[in-house]
A and B are shown apart, each in its own frame.
Chain A
């Protein structure tokens, strides 16, 4: 899933220790003991202008998924509502169990539990789930969401429910088959962990009669304990209790707070200031991020001890290189060796940024992670190795003079136009200049950053990246980031001579149902990309959050790297 905050987390860091759990640093987050009480209003302070997508089939951002799934969008299965490792386990939600697999991983069946209803009181049926899944296929309207349904389901040429002919719809209904309360997914490839895929809200039910297409994003129908009272972009989103939701029908949600208010468009420093002051309604507030300059204030002062957390989130930061423009490994090596990763890490808050990454798979994915062998000459402490970089650049001048000249003339780096990134780009410019590489910064309005760089017409040389696995399998990392079919491949590596071999290996790894042997394959592919530097590994990121003194149940939910918003409670 994509990283929400493109404001912070610029750093790159050192593999200090292999942290097995994604929530390694987290402790003592559920404050004041005792069972959480019902009632009160939780506030979420956000610098964003809106939630990227509330339409369940379009939601693909870590924090937003955690928010929507825990409040409004029930899914067939869900991650456990728990802190630490336990939170990464899958459990039943709408379904009665975590699914039954047959046909060597190609058929998955889920039976819906009793009593689930939408906010209008109508029962959630198998057809509603199937309809929700079918929306993913309407890629002209349902944009930006995960596309696993399209890659997995055994249906071809299905244009989504809005444009499908009767035949096409019949083909889809065969792939996603409803018999009474049992929904069966027929897949074209074996997927051993399909019940993890179904934790995504793109497998949430949508009532066909209430589907408003593109507009559904602003007012989706709730199947969870909360529903939208008002939603104004740039201002606020107010959730209130959904009185049609029946606690008995929901095995995981508790819905302690009476309402949840998402406050948008706040200045990051104002958020920090309000959270530090902890006055008035801000005692009931949570904040997803802390600006680097305020980290020492909050973490050096024991007064904040009970309402702060510093932990490894599931995200890895990295830098995408356009392999099309930089079709020369020597130049890519020079870029990486010359980069002062230590300076970038400091600009992001030093140790709070995270540890230097040795690839794109985080150690938390224990089966898929193996320490990769980094580029020769890369300093482990993150400082630049100017001599080695210069040597690589000199080699490039003979091996690929055109690309070397392009690098000397100026590489275009699209970066989000924020103060933190202004410093990061200054560090890039200064470090690469030492080996004669010119970096031309091109600032893009922060809210338009991803759409801009994901546009194939944008001719960049370098863009940033940040990614977390969608579930505990690197099949949601390596193919997504580096295969041409992936949803977030910004490396433009299709024409690289090694791409064909890579693609074949990815296909083989995906089809491997032996999880251990599959993990080995991901380890090798991770090394394969690291060796070719299609992207430069950055940081295994950490996150910091702070909450008001009267908010309870503030644990960080491992798979999403955020609060479990629906479970937040108010201590009187």
Chain B
């Protein structure tokens, strides 16, 4: 990370890192490096595709004539299992049907993507916001405030967070419902997003605090301060613009983590309530059918793996682009 900061410190001076004679900003340099990573570009395309299908799930479903809730008993045999090979994949059900109900798996996958991505993006936004604010304040103010925020960070890290998330699901969801959050899935999703944010901000805060501690001693901050700039000017105009690189890296790496956690919770029966679709719910249901209908298990599993992999590839590529000294692209 230090090297990232080095290049940022030289912002505007145009230190040539590549052979090019033309002066380039670090941003341009990073983008140039990123652009050369074909894997990452492909992964970005995959993520864009997921976001697109999630956003337009209702339109796509109506265009294909499928629905995530419509029952199709005709697609099942007498015993409630898909009436055809590979989970009854056919022209009317492109990815087959769910055993027991005959609901279309493609439609459920599309609607499930909305839940996964929504939880991922909102939780990432919240953790980043909280983490950056607390991290900058702690690093810039130091002293008592830093000590308090530091202890809060340690305390949060000390919690067995995943166990707590599982144990608190029911009581907290009920609590949310009692204070006016709509019952059922809104309350459950709110809970998931809140707890993920509650335990997730510390990672952002720690990195940001460390960066701030070193940044605040730099010449340009000194200069601003000697010119009489106030705290808010220094934090917002001087420090924050120089923190975006590490933050982007953290964001791109933590988002897939939240997507997986939502799937895990739903898998454990603590996520979305029927009849809503979620990848975790689908995975949890499908493992029971690995003997009778293995195709069903593969579809949501592959969808989840591909999305998480794509985010991770992009995250790594962003880090590599911003931090050329840790060049790992050649290893690929």
Contacts and interface: CB of A to CB of B under 8 A. Distances in A.
Interface of A: 269, 291-297, 340, 342-343, 346-352, 417-423, 425-427, 429-431, 440-443, 445
Contact of A346 (B73, B103, B292): B73
Contact of B80 (A292, A421, A442): A292
A303 B90 CA distance: 32
Nearest to A425: B274
Main SS class of interface, B = loop
Given A293-B100, A348-B80, A422-B285, 18 more contacts: A293-B288, A293-B289, A293-B293, A294-B291, A297-B291, A297-B292, A340-B73, A346-B102, A349-B80, A350-B77, A419-B288, A420-B100, A423-B100, A426-B71, A426-B103, A440-B184, A443-B273, A445-B170
A422 B80 CA distance: 15
Given A419-B284, A426-B274, A342 B292 contact: no
Contact of A430 (B71, B79, B291, B292): B71
A349 B69 CA distance: 20
B101 interface: yes
B65 interface: no
Contacts of B274: 421-423, 425-426, 429, 441, 443
B76 interface: yes
Contact of B81 (A296, A426, A441): A296
Contacts of B269: 417-419
Contacts of B285: 419, 422-423
Contacts of A340: 71, 73
A293 B292 contact: yes
Contacts of B81: 293, 296
The 6 closest A-B CB pairs, nearest first, are A426-B275, A422-B274, A346-B80, A347-B100, A350-B79, A350-B78
Interface string B222-262: 00000000000000000000000000000000000000000
Nearest to A412: B183
Given A293-B99, A423-B100, A423-B101, A343 B292 contact: no
28 contacts: A269-B288, A292-B79, A293-B289, A294-B291, A296-B292, A340-B71, A343-B71, A346-B79, A346-B102, A347-B100, A349-B79, A350-B77, A351-B78, A418-B269, A419-B269, A421-B274, A422-B274, A422-B275, A423-B100, A426-B101, A426-B274, A427-B71, A427-B101, A429-B69, A429-B275, A430-B70, A441-B184, A443-B273
Interface string B57-92: 000000000000111010011111100000000000
Contacts of A348: 80
Contacts of A425: 274-275
Most buried by B among A295, A348, A426, A445: A426
A417 B284 CA distance: 13
B66 to A, nearest CB: 14
B287 interface: yes
Contacts of A431: 71
Contact of A293 (B281, B284, B291): B291
B216 to A, nearest CB: 51
Interface of B: 69-71, 73, 76-81, 99-103, 170, 183-184, 269, 273-275, 281, 284-285, 287-289, 291-293
A328 to B, nearest CB: 25
Contacts of A292: 79-80, 100
A342 B102 CA distance: 12
Given A419-B269, A423-B101, A423-B274, A351 B288 contact: no
B79 A351 contact: yes
Nearest to B81: A296
B73 A342 contact: yes
Contacts of A351: 78-79
Most buried by A among B78, B79, B80: B80
Contacts of A429: 69, 274-275
A380 to B, nearest CB: 16
B70 A346 contact: no
Contacts of B289: 293
A428 to B, nearest CB: 9
Most buried by B among A418, A427, A429: A427
A442 B79 CA distance: 27
A340 B269 CA distance: 25
Nearest to B292: A293
